[in-house]
Structure 1
Amino acid sequence: MEAERLVATGRQALAESRTALDIVAEAWQAQVLAQAIGSHLVLCGPLELRSEARGLSEIGVGPGPTDHPTLRGGAPRAAQLTEVADERGALTALGALLGEVGIALVGVACATDEEGLYWQCIEAIDAADEAGDRVRGMLRRLTVRERGRPPDPARGRAGPRPGPR
């Protein structure tokens, strides 16, 4: 499944989450998706993005998102990722999802009296924030790359650069 579609599915699932545990589960789903998109861009993305993409793919490595109890019931949504057709579109959508996740988690952390859930939220907020930083870095790199291209007369803007990615 294409990255932007998976992100849209995640945003919808987060919006429909009604319990604190559902929100935490969606936060970890988003983190796994961010890792998957990062891994895909390391292998198939433009050279300018690969360093930041590697960092995105490594956020939470170790006992983290993929080992989270909320994901043990089945494969994470990110397992369906097959392509990132539009890097800018996918990264912009992913950045929005990560921002929404952070806001939702702050709400859960502020409302809970359970210490374990509070710290899960803090950990997930940190992961979403770090992933968001990586995404913003990749979007900046794409902007710099596009500014360096000659205009594409058919589109009236910078066009794709020929050659290997």
Structure 2
Amino acid sequence: MEAMRLIEASRHALARSQEPSDVVAEVWQSQALAQAIGSRLAIAGPPELRGEALGLSEGGGRGCGAFVAPGLGMEGMRASRLTGIGRPYEVLRGLDELLGDVGIALVGVAMGADDEGVYWQCMEAIDAADESRDRVLEMLRRLAVREQSLPEPDSAAGPP
């Protein structure tokens, strides 16, 4: 499945989550998706993104590690269905929005946590989501710089 469809599915599932355990499962799914997108961009993305993409992959893994993996199995993991990135800029914009939603959802879970351990797990996951989001924003900046430095197709050809 294309990355944007997976991002949208994750955003909708996170928005529908009511119980803290459901929110945590969706946060885990979102971080796993960030990790998968980062890995894909690190291997086959634009060269100027590869370092940050590798960092995104590692940060997504750290975010997944903040919570115990929900017993989803490979078939239940959206990230395992990633088949392509499509347009990196659009995907990174969508991922930025998803990671913002993740942070907000985690604040809600942390505020309602009765267990101090759950609270600190949320804080660690918020940090990981923020770190991932910083990587995404840097990749978006690099793509914008690259786009600005490319000559216009018509201007290179000269007057007709």
Tell me, yes or no, whether TM beats 0.5. Answer: yes
Q: Map of 1:7-156 to 2, 5 A cutoff?
A: 7-59=7-59, 61=61, 65=64, 68-75=67-74, 76-153=77-154
User: How far does residue 59 in structure 1 lie from its aligned partner after superposition?
Assistant: 1.5
Pair 1:15–1:60, CA change in 2 (3 A): closer
Q: Distance in 2 between matches of 1:7 and 1:60?
A: 14
Under a length normalisation based on structure 1, what TM-score does the superposition of the two structures give?
0.86
User: How far does residue 67 in structure 1 lie from its aligned partner after superposition?
Assistant: 8.9
Secondary structure of the structure 2 residue equivalent to 1:69: coil
Pair 1:67–1:114, CA change in 2 (3 A): closer
More helix by share: 2
Task: Give the paired residue count.
Answer: 153
Amino acid at match of 1:7: I
User: How far does residue 5 in structure 1 lie from its aligned partner after superposition?
Assistant: 0.6
Q: Distance in 1 between matches of 2:67 and 2:101?
A: 20
User: How far does residue 116 in structure 1 lie from its aligned partner after superposition?
Assistant: 2.1
Deviation by residue 1:100-159 (Cα, 9 ceiling, x = unmatched): 110111011012221122122112111110100000000000000000011244xx9xxx
Identity %: 55
Amino acid at match of 1:71: P
CA-based RMSD of the aligned residues comes to 1.9
User: How far does residue 73 in structure 1 lie from its aligned partner after superposition?
Assistant: 2.8
Deviation by residue 1:10-56 (Cα, 9 ceiling, x = unmatched): 00000100101111111111111001000000111000100100111
Under a length normalisation based on structure 2, what TM-score does the superposition of the two structures give?
0.89
